[in-house]
Chains A and B, each alone.
Chain A
Amino acid sequence: MADLFDTQAGAPRADGTGARSTGTMLVKRGLAEMLKGGVIMDVVDPEQARIAEDAGAVAVMALERVPSDIRRDGGVARMSDPEMIEGIKAVTTIPVMAKARIGHFAEAQILQSLGVDYVDESEVLTPADEAHHIDKWAFTVPFVCGATDLGEALRRISEGAAMIRSKGEAGTGNIVEAVRHLRSILGDIRKITQADSAELYDWAKRLQAPVPLVQELAETGRLPVPLFCAGGIATPADASLVMQLGAEAVFVGSGIFKSENPSVRAKAIVEAAANFRDPDILVKVSRGLGGAMPGLEIGSLETKLADRGW
């Protein structure tokens, strides 16, 4: 692959000396690093993608129905039509993500081939495999996976996920589950940093997670990949809350395009994520947004999406 690099003679030019390695963990995690502090927005058509990019989204998630509609319609939710994803790719310059069903590696292969920038192996779609998640090491495209607790997060990382998002409860506009999941993940990490070396084996057993990942956590005090938050974010204050709790970026699904004024709300959430510790800015951006999406009480749900995946 040396010919990929410029080998022309003549100072003061330099030339590359090594081959290009694609699809490495560093390259996969690298894109997640670039999305930090940002807002990733669910969009169902090119028009929404444009609104999202105009509002300052760092990436869009292309899907056919936002989670609140999937919840309402019922039935089997699958990967989106490639044509629809291509339509969104064509109008945006920011990264485009798309969802595959849990365990559905053929959908993931199709999404990789389409050139999406991140695959979300998502509990929002109907799982395709009741025991196995996708072997994500087998792919060049990076994966994000949901987690409700630290064990789930570490299992997904051991399968090759390059980004974890707390699951929350998608399509509810209710932040309580996202808070529970974030607190569970980050609370256990804090405890592990206080554990002695013998206790780490017990932690690994309880979390059903690989010992080396638990040992690494104890050393660094953080997941080896970025931790974002999803599921229930509907307001700028919600974004600030989860980022103050320790999320490094947020996914907003139904919260934007099921609200009264998507464009204004999208901008406000972008500004809130960037300035999540600044109450003065949060006051400013929370004013006059129109109605938020209608929320759902968790106790009233027939299906808890967060229970999908293991």
Chain B
Amino acid sequence: MKIGVLALQGAVEPHVVALRALGATTVAVRNPTELALVEALVLPGGESTTMAKLLRLNELEEALAERLAGGMPAFGTCAGMILLASGVLDGRADQRSFSAIDIDVRRNAFGRQVDSFEADLDVTGLAGGPLHAVFIRAPFVERAGADVEVLATVGGHPVCCRQGRVLVTSFHPELSGDVRLHQHFLELAAT
């Protein structure tokens, strides 16, 4: 299975490294032609406002919306989670999100960079003990729909959610060298 990594801006390479370590074939996705090559997509961290603009400029917005509506498995971290959400709070008025998972997220919800942090998280269903998670100007989930499973929380706020074959995290599993969530996504995508 070919796994795409949205490569318009942000922390693309750490995802590619994690996926390749698990034996996946990866494709950098910047345009509709590259999107058509992949069966699942990782949306990395970065600036969600910049990515949303580049999706439009690169004429990728509609193609991505179509694939996500068609049930393509997707894994969004931080800005990627914001892009996959159904609602964005504290975003820009023109900020597009794709409603691939029924959650509303608040941008920069944990504060500014001086409030960014690392912590060990228990993730429901993840074997092997707590996951070391890195939160960078991170969003959290304000509302999770009835069909959404909340897999981890911080301070009562969901930070890792799953609905069907869509997985999202507020944090950056790609930065801490722990590939268990990537493994989980590959298994989800293969179902």
Contact = CB atoms under 8 A, between A and B. Distances in A.
Interface string B117-135: 1111111100000100011
B53 A30 contact: no
Contacts of A27: 116-118, 134-136
A242 interface: no
B154 A6 contact: yes
B65 interface: no
B113 A31 contact: yes
Interface in B78-132: 78-79, 90-92, 107-108, 112-124, 130
Contact of B113 (A38, A117, A271, A273): A117
Interface residues of B, number: 56
B112 A117 contact: yes
B133 to A, nearest CB: 8
Contacts of A278: 30
Contacts of A15: 122, 153
Contacts of B163: none
B151 A14 contact: yes
Interface in A223-242: none
Interface string A233-275: 0000000000000000000000000000000000100110111
A30 B120 contact: no
A11 B125 CA distance: 11
Contacts of B90: 93
Given A14-B122, A16-B121, A35-B47, A141 B155 contact: no
B58 A274 contact: yes
Interface stretch (A53-61, A73-81, A99-107, A124-132): A53-61
Contacts of A117: 112-114, 137
Interface string A11-38: 1111111111111101100110111111
Contacts of A118: 113
Nearest to A4: B155
A225 to B, nearest CB: 13
Contacts of B116: 22, 27, 30-31
Interface centre among A8, A20, A141 (most CB of B within 10 A): A20
Interface stretch (B6-14, B18-26, B66-74, B182-190): B6-14
A94 B119 contact: no
A13 B150 contact: yes
Contacts of A140: 114
A33 B45 contact: yes
Contacts of A17: 120-122, 130
A112 interface: yes
Interface string A132-161: 000000001110000000000000000000
Interface centre among B8, B47, B121, B160 (most CB of A within 10 A): B47
B57 interface: yes
A278 to B, nearest CB: 8
A95 interface: yes
A8 B152 CA distance: 12
Nearest to A18: B120
B172 A30 contact: yes
Given A93-B49, A93-B92, A118-B113, A34 B11 contact: yes
A174 to B, nearest CB: 26
B49 A56 contact: yes
Contacts of B136: 27, 30-31, 33-34
Contacts of A141: 113-114
A15 to B, nearest CB: 6
A21 B156 contact: no
B30 A36 contact: no
B149 interface: yes
A37 B153 contact: no
A36 B57 contact: no
B47 A13 contact: no
A82 interface: no
Contacts of B14: 33
A267 B58 CA distance: 12
Contact of A5 (B13, B78, B155): B155
A58 B130 contact: no
A31 B122 CA distance: 24
A62 B115 CA distance: 20
Contact of B54 (A8, A59, A270): A270
B154 A4 contact: yes
